[in-house]
Structure 1
Amino acid sequence: MKNRTLLTWFALGHFANDWPICSLWLIVPAVGIAMELSPAEVGLLFTICNVGGALAYLPAGILADHVANRGRLLLATFWWVAVGYLLAAMAPGFWSLALLLAVAGMGDAAWHPIATGVLARNSKERRAHVLGIHAIGGSLAEVLSPLAVGFLLAYVDWREALAISVLPAALMGLCFFFVARAVPRVEKTSVTRQDLLDLLNMWRRGNGLRMVAMICLYNMALIALLSMIPLYLADQHGFGPEAAGIAFSTMLIIGALAQPWVGKISDIAGRRPVVVFGNLTAALAITVLVFQPSLWIMIAAMVVAVAALDAIRAAILAGTVDHTGRNEGTTLGLAFVLLDGIGALGAVLAGIAAGFSWPHMFGLAATFSLGAAALGFVTVFGRQPASATAEAASTSASAE
């Protein structure tokens, strides 16, 4: 199977696995309304989901670097997702739902470091570009899944909507019985304690520690916005599920489509200007939200903020691999832990802030993004060799 075809399947697999978890952006607020939860409890539910999934990132990344047949690992993630979310749709209460969503999310989480590890290893000269193409699948799921679920919730309850959302993962699970055979194999190696210690030591001090803090603040800003915007639109502007789904999807589509382009720019111009500009743009847009302007200005500012943060995700992930220069799957697994594990605290903190007022919530998100911009400015991102950068520029026209 050609590289371009395999990358297309990876993007489709990303789309299918992320579809049910992206549906939660509207399903969880619907759960909150049905169960009469507070904004803080809605934020806590998002945080538990993300932290649960984060537990799978690092083990999956380690497997991606040391297991020969990574295709089978990718195949297994689809069935974990499909079965897990079906069980969650039958949960009787808040805590059982939170636990089952966290466990189901582990399957989706495992996909990411394995798939991106394969791509980062096979395309070293244009990592951010191929990671951006892969990211389109997940980003389109973030756009289309809330839109579809918004209309579904007008006719069915949240349980039925969640059960229906597993269909893309189940369908892709059938397709990957054939695609998995084409995933490049690697030499099977054992995991040593020293290898893990050496890798962790690269992140424990100096530049590595600044990058860790930047990644956490970046995703705390993004998760704070994504988890609270549907609730805000319903609470302050009376948006129903369909209107909230349309607005939320519109906010995500620009960043989704921009990821490969922004990733390619970072491959050529460097990670720092892209990361700093994206976070700073988002911080300024979120600051506008603090002052509660008219609805259409609010929507426009939300679009700018979400798109700016979403567009730079591939550049940030590629920057983590540049920093270590090896163990792509394990490095990306650790990056996803920071993004969706520690970064998920943005949801519960935003929920607590929203309990005081919505300007407090937006002010907190702006602070996270501004902090990420400041840390990005003082972080030294690993640079590709000049020959690789030149090759990336010359081959970009033939990229997938």
Structure 2
Amino acid sequence: MTTDSPLSPDLHRGASTEAPRDARRTLAVVGLNHALHDGYTDLIYVLLPVWQAEFGLGYIALAVVRSLYAGALAGLQIPATALAGPLGARTVLVLGTLLSAGGYALAGASGGLVGLCVALALSGAGSSTQHPLASAVIARAYGTAARGPLGTYNFAGDVGKAALPPLVGFLLTQSDWRSVLWLVGAAGGVVALGVAGLLPRPSGPRGNRPGTMAVRPCVAPQQTGRTGFGLLVAIGMLDNAARPAFLIYLPFLLQSKGAAFAIVGVAFTLVAVGGALGKAVFGRIGERIGVTRSVILTEAGTAAAILAVVALPLSPALVVLPALGLMLNGTSSVLYGTVPQLAPGARVERAFAIFYTCTLGGSALATPLLYGPLGDAVGPEWAAAAAAATACAVIPLMLALSPRLSAHALSRAA
């Protein structure tokens, strides 16, 4: 069981709880780990056409396969956070990375669809460790100056999305998919060893155990915490549902426009490069123009870009993909940076765990229950258009949250 204690007064003036060099090393190590896990997550999209051809799967079945990974990733966020109390955040991060890598290696060794599904669920369970713990480790390292580093951390995840799927797409032209997944699993083992050897031990204020963090709230939790945090979670759920709802159909949309398999891999690179830029840029843009304007801009841009990709021929659609990635992932850095601000009771690590559980869990459920059947019923074009509508649904919720963010900012200034 974890214990919470207030951070030192220096933290409330923007100072970090670690030496600058250790804070930078912390960000670099968890960023590399994030790149691996996010690469693992998006790698599934590239493999869906392969598995469709091998196992004869429809869109609902493909959505279920993807959601086994995403569901395990989402559902185990809070248990993973609880393990950080007795074991320490670093140990849990290492064990999670080893499990995720082992799951992909097992997927390569699986003899059929059932074995593949079990392996993907194990890999997703391993990946459940890194989002809440790594985010809280960064928040502890940088204190109230953590919004920018959290944006950098999210940028690192998209570097993995930009690198691993196209690399696997190329390797699939040279070897069978099972052998490729063994290589993917081996790479994860190397990253786990790096986390074990390089991540600094926590040096936070006395009384904080590894894996815990608390920040004294600037306003009473009942004023902004519960209601504001609940709206933030709802926004995150819709935003996170729109992304896989579109990406699961992107390979099939491109193939219907005449794209070869190698072009599909390049397409995901274009989306991920734009997404990496979006996460790096919008985390800081949110500080300049405000959370509300940033989220409205990115969600409206996401909807417009999705509809453009659906309507345009192959070459213009490929040109749109970086801008789509920019908008599609730009919201997340703004939302992640707002979690500590609205954390109920100032329990930041638990707030991150709840946020990731709900947003990723909602995505894992919506894809097979809603967007998968929609694709089978009306085709990938209309299912992708539904993803655009989901992005637009964020806007009224963001307008409802805006007054609470303003109240928090005024109280903090006072």
TM-score of the superposed pair, with normalisation by structure 2: 0.83
* Distance (whole Å) between structure 2 residues aligned to residue 112 and residue 385 of structure 1: 26
Where do 1:277-356 residues align within 5 Å? Answer: 277-290=297-310, 292-324=311-343, 326-348=346-368, 349-355=370-376, 356=378
**Cα separation, partners in 2 of 1:371 and 1:109, compared to 1, 3 Å:** same
C-alpha contact 1:126 1:267 (8 A) present in aligned 2: no
Q: Give the SS at the match of 1:312.
A: helix
Matching residue within 190, 201, 207 for 1:182: 201
- Give the RMSD, CA atoms, in angstroms: 2.9
Q: Give the SS at the match of 1:27.
A: helix
Where do 1:1-400 residues align within 5 Å? Answer: 1-64=21-84, 66-67=85-86, 69-184=88-203, 187-188=208-209, 206-234=227-255, 236-290=256-310, 292-324=311-343, 326-348=346-368, 349-355=370-376, 356-380=378-402, 382=405
**Cα separation, partners in 2 of 1:161 and 1:180, compared to 1, 3 Å:** same
Q: Give the SS at the match of 1:58.
A: helix
Matched length: 379
Deviation digits for residues 296-316 of structure 1 (CA, Å, limit 9, x no counterpart)? 332334432332021221111
C-alpha contact 1:278 1:308 (8 A) present in aligned 2: yes
Q: How far did 1:278 drift?
A: 0.6
**Cα separation, partners in 2 of 1:78 and 1:189, compared to 1, 3 Å:** closer
More deviation in 351-360 or 213-222? 351-360
* Distance (whole Å) between structure 2 residues aligned to residue 143 and residue 115 of structure 1: 20
* Distance (whole Å) between structure 2 residues aligned to residue 48 and residue 152 of structure 1: 24
* Distance (whole Å) between structure 2 residues aligned to residue 370 and residue 181 of structure 1: 41
- Taking only the aligned residue pairs, the percentage that are identical comes to 21
Aligned to 1:396: none
Q: How far did 1:206 drift?
A: 4.3
Q: Which runs of 5+ in 2 are unaligned?
A: 1-20, 213-220
Q: How far did 1:286 drift?
A: 2.0
Aligned to 1:398: none
**Cα separation, partners in 2 of 1:202 and 1:178, compared to 1, 3 Å:** farther
Q: Which runs of 5+ in 1 are unaligned?
A: 192-199, 390-400
Q: How far did 1:12 drift?
A: 1.2
**Cα separation, partners in 2 of 1:109 and 1:190, compared to 1, 3 Å:** closer
* Distance (whole Å) between structure 2 residues aligned to residue 260 and residue 144 of structure 1: 16
Q: How far did 1:134 drift?
A: 0.9
Q: Give the SS at the match of 1:166.
A: helix
